[in-house]
Amino acid sequence: MRFKAELLNAEEVRRALHRIAHEIVEANKGVEGLALVGIHTRGIPLAERIARYIREFEGKEVPVGMLDITLYRDDLSEIGIRPQVRQTRIPFDLTGKAVVLVDDVLYTGRTARAALDALMDLGRPRRIYLAVLVDRGHRELPIRADFVGKNVPTAKNEVVKVKVEEVDGEDRVELWEREEA
């Protein structure tokens, strides 16, 4: 793969998440009944950071859960690798909550669909929002994000790599291009 561009640097990632945190609180008219659920892997630290920013400016704790959607995917035969199933942990009752699903990249929409199915099996949220750091387009399902850090029009042969401090040691979003075989 060939590196093409830096889409967001560490400061821009911080600013985008900060803005998303404000937008969430505004949309929900406060933090009452609000909960965040990060989708494995990088959605989890992003959700934790958004919760931290909300605590900083609202002075209130928003619960954070983690969701693995592997068992709900409909494209496992296509990805052709042994899927690694990880822990789902939602340490609060989803019923009646306004839940914000948090992921790093929104692409085809299949992960978001799987996450919606998984959440519905775990409880009955009052409503579900979707927050993503990058929306790169190419949806295959009628799904859109409520909160977006950055919209990036991409080509299908391009790859968006989100790096986060907690997993990758740095905050950065990169655009790569797959080279022809």
Partner 1 sequence: MRHLLDFQGWTRGQVESLLDTARVMAEVLERPVKRVPALRGFTVATVFFEPSTRTRLSFELAARRMSADVVSFAAQASSLQKGESYKDTLLTLEAMGIDAYVIRADAAGVPHQAARWVKGVVVNGGDGRRAHPTQALLDAYTLLEALGSLEGKKIAIVGDILHSRVARSNVELLPLLGAEVWVAGPPTLLPQRLPGARLTPHLDEALAEADAVMVLRLQKERMEAGLIHLQDYIAHYQVTERRLRKAKPHALLLHPGPMNRDVELEGTLADSERSLVNRQVHNGVAVRMAVLYHLLVGREG
117, amino acid identity: D
Under the binding rule (CB under 8 A), the answer on residue 72 touching partner 1 is yes
Paired tokens of 28? 């929900």
Under the binding rule (CB under 8 A), the answer on residue 174 touching partner 1 is no
Under the binding rule (CB under 8 A), the answer on residue 35 touching partner 1 is no
Under the binding rule (CB under 8 A), the answer on residue 88 touching partner 1 is yes
Of the pair 68, 104, the CB lying nearest partner 1 is at 68
Of the pair 26, 87, the CB lying nearest partner 1 is at 87
Under the binding rule (CB under 8 A), the answer on residue 122 touching partner 1 is yes
Of the pair 49, 113, the CB lying nearest partner 1 is at 113
Torsional sign, CA 86, 35, 14, 102? positive
The DSSP symbol for 146 reads: S
What backbone torsions phi and psi does residue 147 show, to the nearest 5 degrees? -130, 125
Query: SS3 sequence, 52-102?
Result: HHHHHHHCCCCCEEEECCHHHCCCHHHHCCCCCCCCCECCCCCCCCEEEEE
Number of residues that bind partner 1 (CB under 8 A): 19
Tell the smallest beta-carbon distance from residue 73 to partner 1 (Å): 8
Give the interface with partner 1 as residue ranges (CB under 8 A).
68, 70-72, 74, 76, 82-89, 117-118, 121-123
